[in-house]
Amino acid sequence: MTDLSLFVPGTSLLHRLPAGAKLLGLLALSIVTIWLQSAWQVGAVLALVLVGYAVAGIGPSLVARQVRPLLWFLVVIAGVQVWTSGWQMALTVVGTIVVLVLAAALVTLTTRTTAMADAVVAACRPLRVVGVDPERVGLMIALAMRSVPVVVGIAQDVRDAQRARGVRFAPQAYGVALVVRSLRQATALGDALLARGLDD
Amino acid sequence: MIEVSGVSQVYGAGAARRTVLDGVEVTLSEHRIGVVGSNGSGKSTFARLLNGLVEPTRGTVTVDGLDTVREGRAVRQKVGFCFTDPDSQIVMPTVREDVAFGLRRKGLRGAAADPVVDDALARFGLSALADSPAHTLSGGEKQLLALCSVLITEPDVLVLDEPTTLLDLRNARRIGDVVASLPQQVLLVTHQLDLLAGFDRVLVFDEGRLVHDDAPAGAVDHYRRLMA
């Protein structure tokens, strides 16, 4: 089973900071990056984010792992930017993307998912006046988090079943089976919620 | 006391019409009741009728006088339900959160729920897994969690739909032992006939009908002849 728990346990300042504060900080940082003009400014913000990683006690290999999936995107974007606006602009744009991804990952790595969900619920509270039930939003987040590993499990099952029957990868058959089984799972989940008292 | 009177259950219409239960009439007051029958005999539908998950096409089902259709909510507070596949029953990401979910109905949440949850986890031997993501548990641990999460709401009746079908022998016994020790009235649907030893009454379903209703020995005999 794929390990989907991204949280790295710890007791650092960043771990102890409330989830809401971290999310607000991330929001503020994202807004600041709009005004970043030069490569050295981006470098300064990047240094700040890396200090954050050091404070959280997260090593360089884990830092690298956050950016690695983006590598090819970054190469293409950098290429286009060098072509159209010069290497300084390319450095600024690519640097900004790296800063944002690393900062978001830092929040994910130091915050329990439940704490994150609670923060979102708290943030939704003012929406009560327009008929949004914050508890429902929290439940929705929790159900979504619970469903990710379940659907990943279904996907593996479907693939194994097709391989066992000697079918080479057939995207259509795979897609149909995955969707049908996921919908059945959703029905079962609905029954379970009803049986467990969520019937209002 | 559960009363099932004149219940028929029909799915689909026209050519696709299937009668899943046909004229079931039974009153359940015993402490331990087993339900056996072949695949497709209607026993699973019967179990789902008892907490209002399925509403009867004809007839009525009442639990302590409460109608499962009109007073479904109150009935589900009385009747806990345990599904075959714990993955479809566990609704929260971690073990602790899933157990605490059942307490929301009682208005217990957050820190107030913690001692109750800790106590329940200890009773089921799940304390060490309290903060584990639910998907990392083994099949047996998941079914124990599912059972723990249902029982924390303190239902009067527990309905279990083949709770051990996906488990190995040791885990099946573990679930069987837990079920045997419960103070609640239990209705257990199962293919594992040895779990029914010591039960007060066993119902045998076949092709949507309740065909035999007896003490375990007689009912299991009847079931074996039916399957021969």
Per-residue model confidence as pLDDT tens digits over B165-218:
888 898 899 899 999 999 999 999 999 998 998 899 999 999 999 999 989 988
Give B3's strand partners. B27, B62
Question: What is the pLDDT at residue B151?
Answer: 93
How many beta-carbon contacts under 8 Å exist across A and B? 71
Question: What is the pLDDT at residue A5?
Answer: 47
Question: What is the pLDDT at residue B57?
Answer: 93
Output DSSP code: residue B94: B
- Chain B CB within 8 Å of residue A79 CB: no
Question: What is the pLDDT at residue A9?
Answer: 76
Output DSSP code: residue B129: G
B85, B93, B153 ranked by CB distance to A146: nearest: B93
Question: What is the pLDDT at residue A6?
Answer: 66
Contact list in B for residue A197 (CB cut-off 8 A) is: 76-77, 102, 104-105, 153
- Name the band, by pLDDT with cuts 50, 70 and 90, for residue A3: very low
Exposed e or buried b for every residue in B16-53, given b needs 16+ CB within 10 A?
Answer: eeebbbeebeeebeeebbbbbbeeebbbbbbbbbbbbb
Question: What is the pLDDT at residue A8?
Answer: 78
pLDDT digit string, tens, across residues A22-33: 999 999 999 999
Question: What is the pLDDT at residue A152?
Answer: 87
The candidate with the shortest Cα–Cα distance to A150, out of A173, A178, A174, A115, is: A178
Q: Which 3 state secondary structure label does DSSP give A138?
A: helix
Contact list in B for residue A185 (CB cut-off 8 A) is: 87-88
- DSSP for chain A, please give it: -----------SHHHHS-HHHHHHHHHHHHHHHTT--SHHHHHHHHHHHHHHHHHHT--HHHHHHHHGGGHHHHHHHHHHHHHHH-HHHHHHHHHHHHHHHHHHHHHHHHS-HHHHHHHHHHHHGGGGGGT--HHHHHHHHHHHHHHHHHHHHHHHHHHHHHHHTTPPP-HHHHHHHHHHHHHHHHHHHHHHHHHTT---
Encoding tokens for residue B73? 């909510």
Name the CA dihedral angle for A55, A60, A65, A69, rounded to a multiple of 10 degrees.
100
Query: Distance of CA B36 to CAs A73, A142, B190, B220, B226, Å?
Result: 59, 36, 6, 8, 11
CA distance to partner chain B, nearest, from residue A197 (Å) = 7
Low-confidence residues of chain B, pLDDT below 70?
A: 110
Question: What is the pLDDT at residue A119?
Answer: 87
B105, B134, B135 ranked by CB distance to A197: nearest: B105
The reply to whether residue A188 touches residue B76, judged by beta carbons under 8 angstroms, is no
Contact list in A for residue B104 (CB cut-off 8 A) is: 197
- Using a pLDDT cut of 90, give the percent of chain A over it: 36
The candidate with the shortest Cα–Cα distance to B33, out of B207, B223, B204, B147, is: B204
Tokens 């080479």 belong to which residue?
Answer: A168
Question: What is the pLDDT at residue A4?
Answer: 44
Question: What is the pLDDT at residue A199?
Answer: 64
pLDDT digit string, tens, across residues A123-156: 888 888 888 888 788 888 888 888 888 888 899 8
- Name the band, by pLDDT with cuts 50, 70 and 90, for residue A200: low
- Name the band, by pLDDT with cuts 50, 70 and 90, for residue A108: confident
Compute the C-alpha angle A104/A110/A116, nearest 5°. 75
Encoding tokens for residue B5? 């009177």
Indicate if the pLDDT at residue A198 is higher than 80: no
Mean pLDDT over A190-194 rounds to 89
The reply to whether residue B94 touches residue A114, judged by beta carbons under 8 angstroms, is yes
Mean pLDDT computed over every residue of chain A: 87
- Name the band, by pLDDT with cuts 50, 70 and 90, for residue A160: confident
